[in-house]
Structure 1
Amino acid sequence: MPDILSAPSSATAAGDKLRTIRNRTFDEIAVGDSASIERTLTTQDIELFAVLSGDVNPQHLDAEYAASTRFHGVIAHGMLGGALISAVLGTRLPGPGTVYLGQTLKFLAPVHVGDTLRISVTVTARHEEKKRLTLACTCINQDGVTAISGEADVLAPTEHIERPRTTLPEVRMTVGNDGLQRLLDHVRPLGALRVAVVHPCDALSLSGALDARAAGLIEPVLVVPRARLLAVAQENGLDLAGIAIEDVPHSHAAAARAVELVLEGRVQALMKGSLHTDELMAAVVASQGGLRTKRRVSHCYVMQTPAYPRPFIITDAAINIAPTLQDKADIVRNAIDLAHAIGVAQPRVAILAAVETINPHMPATIDAAALCKMADRGQITGGLLDGPLAFDNAISIAAARTKGIVSEVAGRADILVVPDLESGNMLAKQLEYLGDAACAGIVLGARVPIVLTSRADSRETRMASCAVAVLLARHYQKAPL
């Protein structure tokens, strides 16, 4: 009977392999021996390699530039593949104690974000007198295409080495704070937008409007009880010189008067102050004297997070609580309009659900399928739709490939359409507070853009929201709803 107490199980052996790194000595290695690892390339891999190497070639880092090249997208540095070959030699074959003497490489095919590489080394020659090995090296992608080939010359270890595997520190890339500045620099030449700021009766909303004015984004018209406004300005040392004021008795009147200013052609956008969102939106969507269009009103967050290579839109996370299919169609149309306004000519729209398959017990999956068919039949235009897609499949090419999803949208979505307000609001707030995302909030579907921010929003968020409103207003001038 085998000694079951001393014989290691397969699970124990696997766990030991994860915890321990060991080598093979020269005498234990024969011609034909091989080892390999697999690695799915991420945007973060490329960015981190750029930081370490200093190679900031836009082919590797600038998605817009890279899309115009013959590779049609961002590709990895060639030497990143070389580093992965080094990892096999140093940890698998021969392993710890290996001394790298030489390496040749041929770069045969580009490696894109989301490609899964199998990096292999195979011993082709042994040199007994100097304990040297020659190994053939290859990096082959998930389609069987050889991306890199070459030959390594190494000095093999002659003594056994076994050490605990080192736990690597987590490295997190962060977006610099120049994103807002680039946005402002892009928008400022378009000219200031005349904006009705509705009931700015606290320091945050008032100073946000004044900051946007100072940045050349808006020319505010403050629709507010004058006495309360002056008290807030005096208490917080805010200068109101040269700013138009529309005196109203209370917040409801402020919302109504702001809508009137739009109808009179005196302002080109609205900006929420310290009143409740419901108060403002009730005046906007009123059947008589409101700012309705043929579209349903919806909200979009424009977000940028360090974990994703481009800005993206989340909708609807603030207006429509439980949207119907028809509501979602307008939500998608509004988001596509916003994407066009910020410069995305053919936005990829991911219709989110908990799963990527259609399930009759999950209405979000049925809606997603219907929206995609509406796009196929020309009822929704201007973007490329796919769904249902789970969140990971929408933003990760690697996750989509693991699930066998073949899609132009999966892994590179520009717009994320959520099933309902609760899921959208939680997603956006999680990204902002746990994912270091920068964001801007805007309401679309009315006659003019509406800057909709919360009391907890930062100065940067308010500024970015005003900048997006400028872009959207100029877009509406060319293509009104």
Structure 2
Amino acid sequence: MQGPPAPRKVAVDLEDAMGTSETGRDETAFEGLLARAGQPAIPAAIVHPVDALSLSGAIEARNHGLIEPVLVGPPARIEAAAAAAGLDLSGIEIVTVPHSHAAAAEGVRLAASGAVSALMKGALATSELMAACVAPAGGLRTERRMSHIFVMETPAWPSWLLISDGGLNIAPDLMTKRWIVQNAIDLACAIGIELPKVALLSATEVVDPHIPSTLDAAALCKMAERGQIRGGILDGPLAFDLAISKESAAAKGLVSPVAGAADILIVPGIEAGNMLAKQLDYLAGANAAGIVLGAKVPVILTSRSDSARERVASCALAAAWLDWAGRAI
């Protein structure tokens, strides 16, 4: 018996609305984001780019003037990937290391020394790269907790939608959530969202001692009132429908500056964030960019299945944030 067809990232009935190509990807995705990215190109270490997709994303980002890539990995494998993808590596620096673990360590060393302004994940596991980033001896840690932020562009929503943390912190406590929120607010500001509206998601809008995420949401709102979180408007707990639907908020009699107008969705844990972002990606025709903030440099962190276009958009996030923060080399 024949199995089900492989999932596509854009449903057929969304193609006309999105202007997608025959490959099912939106070729004009993130045009506004690319236009906002700071200049000149930032030096970025591409960690273990030994497959065609990760290498092509880095080269395309270079062609857009976003990054100046430094390829860190085994030269023979990098050159084989370039040949397979028909990519020209002329003029691009390659730092020789024997394997992915060494590439992660060397990329972190380059970032900590100031030789590059950003790191970009290549063909290695997220856990392998982030283990090197969070290691105390690596020199990238700050007072903040590192957190991952998805930036989604979807025909189901009129503007960028940020989701955090769906890629790094598994079960964040309250103080970790404080930095998750602050990192997301900072990125929203960097891409031009003034005073972003932050929805602290849970299963209900009522503070319930049996649901820890509602208690955290209430505490985070109070922390924002006291200046421990700055730059955004917070409300929560909010169920997902209340965060994105004014009609749902009105039906429940909820008065909120965030309900129905959220720019940022803060999820209770990594499972919720990961599933929410990927549901938008695969079922709602979304394009997704991703970045980790909270380290001394931004970490461009994409899924291994992300398109080259989405990888370019993730580079644009790093460039925009560095330009906003005034920390580019």
* TM norm. shorter chain > 0.5: yes
**In structure 1, how many angstroms separate the alpha carbons of the residues matched to 2:14 and 2:114?**
52
Q: Write the letter of the residue equivalent to 1:349.
A: V
**In structure 2, how many angstroms separate the alpha carbons of the residues matched to 1:306 and 1:240?**
36
**Aligned match of 2:116:** 267
Q: 2:251 aligns with which of 402, 406, 409?
A: 402
Do residues 174 (structure 1) and 23 (structure 2) align? no
Distance 1:172 1:278, change over 3 A: closer
- How far 1:179 sits from its partner (Å)? 4.2
Note if contact 2:42-2:117 (Cα within 8 Å) is conserved in structure 1: yes
**In structure 2, how many angstroms separate the alpha carbons of the residues matched to 1:476 and 1:297?**
16
- How far 1:423 sits from its partner (Å)? 0.6
Q: 2:260 aligns with which of 383, 387, 411?
A: 411
- How far 1:439 sits from its partner (Å)? 1.6
**Aligned match of 2:5:** none
- How far 1:289 sits from its partner (Å)? 2.6
Note if contact 2:202-2:267 (Cα within 8 Å) is conserved in structure 1: yes
Secondary structure (helix, strand or coil) at the match of 1:190 reads coil
**Aligned match of 1:382:** 231
Q: 2:65 aligns with which of 196, 216, 219?
A: 216
Distance 1:467 1:171, change over 3 A: closer
Do residues 281 (structure 1) and 130 (structure 2) align? yes
**Aligned match of 1:185:** 35
Task: Write out per-residue CA displacement over residues 400-444 of structure 1, whole angstroms, 9 at most, x where no aligned residue.
Answer: 111111010111001000000001100000001100112210101
User: Which runs of structure 2 are paired with 1:26-425 in the superposition (5 Å)?
Assistant: 174-176=17-19, 177=26, 178-187=28-37, 190-425=39-274
Q: Which runs of 4+ in 1 moved over 3 A?
A: 170-173, 175-179
Task: Write out per-residue CA displacement over residues 373-411 of structure 1, whole angstroms, 9 at most, x where no aligned residue.
Answer: 111111111111000000000001111111111010111
Q: 1:454 aligns with which of 289, 303, 309?
A: 303
**In structure 1, how many angstroms separate the alpha carbons of the residues matched to 2:290 and 2:224?**
26
If the length of structure 2 is used for normalisation, what is the TM-score?
0.90
Secondary structure (helix, strand or coil) at the match of 2:237 reads strand
RMSD: 1.8
**In structure 2, how many angstroms separate the alpha carbons of the residues matched to 1:448 and 1:476?**
11
Aligned length: 309
**In structure 1, how many angstroms separate the alpha carbons of the residues matched to 2:135 and 2:70?**
22
Distance 1:251 1:400, change over 3 A: same
**In structure 1, how many angstroms separate the alpha carbons of the residues matched to 2:251 and 2:206?**
14
Note if contact 2:244-2:262 (Cα within 8 Å) is conserved in structure 1: yes
Secondary structure (helix, strand or coil) at the match of 2:30 reads helix
- How far 1:172 sits from its partner (Å)? 9.7
Note if contact 1:208-1:463 (Cα within 8 Å) is conserved in structure 2: yes
**In structure 1, how many angstroms separate the alpha carbons of the residues matched to 2:154 and 2:322?**
25
Q: Write the letter of the residue equivalent to 1:197.
A: I
Q: Which gives a bigger RCO, structure 1 or 2 (Cα 8 Å, sep 6+)?
A: 2
- How far 1:308 sits from its partner (Å)? 1.4
Q: Write the letter of the residue equivalent to 1:183.
A: L
**Aligned match of 2:7:** none
Secondary structure (helix, strand or coil) at the match of 2:198 reads strand
- How far 1:309 sits from its partner (Å)? 1.6
Task: Point out where structure 2 has 5 or more consecutive residues left out of the alignment.
Answer: 1-12, 20-25
Q: Write the letter of the residue equivalent to 1:367.
A: D
Deviates more, 1:234-243 or 1:213-222: 234-243
Q: 2:279 aligns with which of 414, 425, 430?
A: 430
Secondary structure (helix, strand or coil) at the match of 1:233 reads helix
| Percent identity of equivalent pairs | 59
Task: Point out where structure 1 has 5 or more consecutive residues left out of the alignment.
Answer: 1-169
Secondary structure (helix, strand or coil) at the match of 2:204 reads coil
Note if contact 1:173-1:306 (Cα within 8 Å) is conserved in structure 2: no
Note if contact 1:298-1:443 (Cα within 8 Å) is conserved in structure 2: yes
Q: Write the letter of the residue equivalent to 2:204.
A: V
- How far 1:237 sits from its partner (Å)? 2.6
- How far 1:265 sits from its partner (Å)? 1.4
If the length of structure 1 is used for normalisation, what is the TM-score?
0.62
Bigger Rg over Cα = 1
**In structure 1, how many angstroms separate the alpha carbons of the residues matched to 2:118 and 2:257?**
35
- How far 1:238 sits from its partner (Å)? 2.0
- How far 1:181 sits from its partner (Å)? 2.7
Task: Write out per-residue CA displacement over residues 48-83 of structure 1, whole angstroms, 9 at most, x where no aligned residue.
Answer: xxxxxxxxxxxxxxxxxxxxxxxxxxxxxxxxxxxx
Secondary structure (helix, strand or coil) at the match of 1:174 reads helix
**In structure 2, how many angstroms separate the alpha carbons of the residues matched to 1:175 and 1:295?**
37
**In structure 2, how many angstroms separate the alpha carbons of the residues matched to 1:290 and 1:171?**
45
**Aligned match of 2:8:** none
Distance 1:171 1:415, change over 3 A: closer
Deviates more, 1:258-267 or 1:405-414: 258-267
Secondary structure (helix, strand or coil) at the match of 1:220 reads strand
Secondary structure (helix, strand or coil) at the match of 1:433 reads helix
**In structure 2, how many angstroms separate the alpha carbons of the residues matched to 1:350 and 1:199?**
36
**In structure 1, how many angstroms separate the alpha carbons of the residues matched to 2:175 and 2:32?**
36
Q: Write the letter of the residue equivalent to 2:44.
A: V
Q: Flag the structure with higher strand content.
A: 1
Secondary structure (helix, strand or coil) at the match of 2:116 reads coil
- How far 1:275 sits from its partner (Å)? 0.9
